[in-house]
Amino acid sequence: MPPSEGFLKTDDGARLFFRKTGTGPYVIFPNGLYLFDDFERFADRRTLIFYDVRNRGRSDLVTDGSKLVGSIPHDVEDLDAVRRHFGIARFDVIAHSYIGVLATQYAIKYAPHVNRAVLIGPMQPNPATEYPAHLTGADATLSEVFSKLGQLAQERQSRGLHEITQQDCEEFWSILRPIYVVNPADAGKIAWGRCDLPNERNFMQYFSENILPSIHRLRFTAETLAPATAPVLIVHGARDRSAPYGGGRDWALIFPNARLLTVENAAHAPWIEAPELVLGSIETFLDGEWPSAAQKLVR
């Protein structure tokens, strides 16, 4: 059965774009359209719903600032709107990068609806935490990419450019994508830019002005996470340059029921760099068992 696509409305009227495929228990991927090709294999026994969060991808551009302030709380309510739209009582959630914060906040507020959660390369629980070098992926590649991005920004500023075109976006991603993998040969597999979409071309401004401040206002501790009792699998590349591996360890320590799958020699896209380990472990977890490589951490 081919995937179905469409729009659904949130409680405040914003439209979210979704793609649905498969049959069986539900798995929801917030902001997960770029994961579709790699994770579609799970659709043989599950119903997968990928959707663009508000102001992202093919979902509506939100121009009312009041609907963007506190973006993570808005996104939490939108995830529940997705659940209700499809009449789902309980579901598994798979979240990558900063969307892991959204999934975590949802699991706290709407715990009865979360069956299992997979967080891949999540941002650290406390943005202010500084980790020792061996718990980060900081290296020469990261420094080189930041230098090139700085030069690109200076060039645009010197030319008085303001609107970000599709070509600008594609140039930005051609520089950025190497930080997400350890093996440079895998950089071409990072197809996350979606530069044909205006929301994605303008994402960095939205991220810095709305999403990051919203995340920084949240506090995650063992106490605040206590209601989130669903099993949580943290999947983290040990050389993640975007979200430090130390953050993955911290999440595994403070969730009430979590284990950490460490992916050696992988960065922010571990399912690309170690597909059999990562995707096989996630499938085992969704089937109701802890994968053998996942570890329970203790302080």
Domain count, the chain: 1
259-290 pLDDT, tens per residue? 999 999 999 999 999 999 999 999 999 999 99
Q: What b/e readout covers 27-37, taking b as 16+ CB neighbours within 10 angstroms?
A: bbbbbbbbbee
The beta strands (E) that lie in 64-134 are given as 91-96, 114-120
Q: What b/e readout covers 60-82, taking b as 16+ CB neighbours within 10 angstroms?
A: bebeeeebbeebbebbbebbbbb
| Minimum mean pLDDT range among 21-30, 196-205, 237-246, 250-259 | 196-205
Closest alpha carbon to 240 in 210, 208, 263: 263
Which are the contacts of 81, defined by CB distance < 8 A and separation ≥ 6? 8, 9, 10, 11, 16
100-146 pLDDT, tens per residue? 999 999 999 999 999 999 999 999 999 999 999 999 999 999 999 99
Per-residue tokens: 214: 């919203």
195 and 170 Cβ atoms separated by less than 8 Å: yes
Residue 169's identity, in one-letter code, is C
The beta strands (E) that lie in the chain are given as 4-9, 15-22, 26-30, 47-51, 91-96, 114-120, 232-237, 258-263
Contacts 24+ apart (CB under 8 A), 141-150: 141/178, 141/179, 141/241, 142/179, 142/241, 145/175, 145/176, 145/178, 145/179, 148/175, 149/175, 149/176
Whole-angstrom distance, CA of residue 119 vs CA of residue 103: 8
Whole-angstrom distance, CA of residue 225 vs CA of residue 220: 7
pLDDT of residue 243 exceeding 90: yes
CATH code at position 67:
3.40.50.1820
Cα angle, residue 61 at apex, residues 55 and 63 outer, rounded to 5°: 105
Q: How many residues does the chain have?
A: 299
230 and 258 Cβ atoms separated by less than 8 Å: no
Per-residue tokens: 141: 């590649």
> Which residue segment(s) compose the domain that 38 sits in?
1-299
pTM beyond 0.85: the answer is yes
* pLDDT-derived band at 67, boundaries 50, 70, 90: confident
For residue 170, the surrounding DSSP H or E stretch is helix 166-176
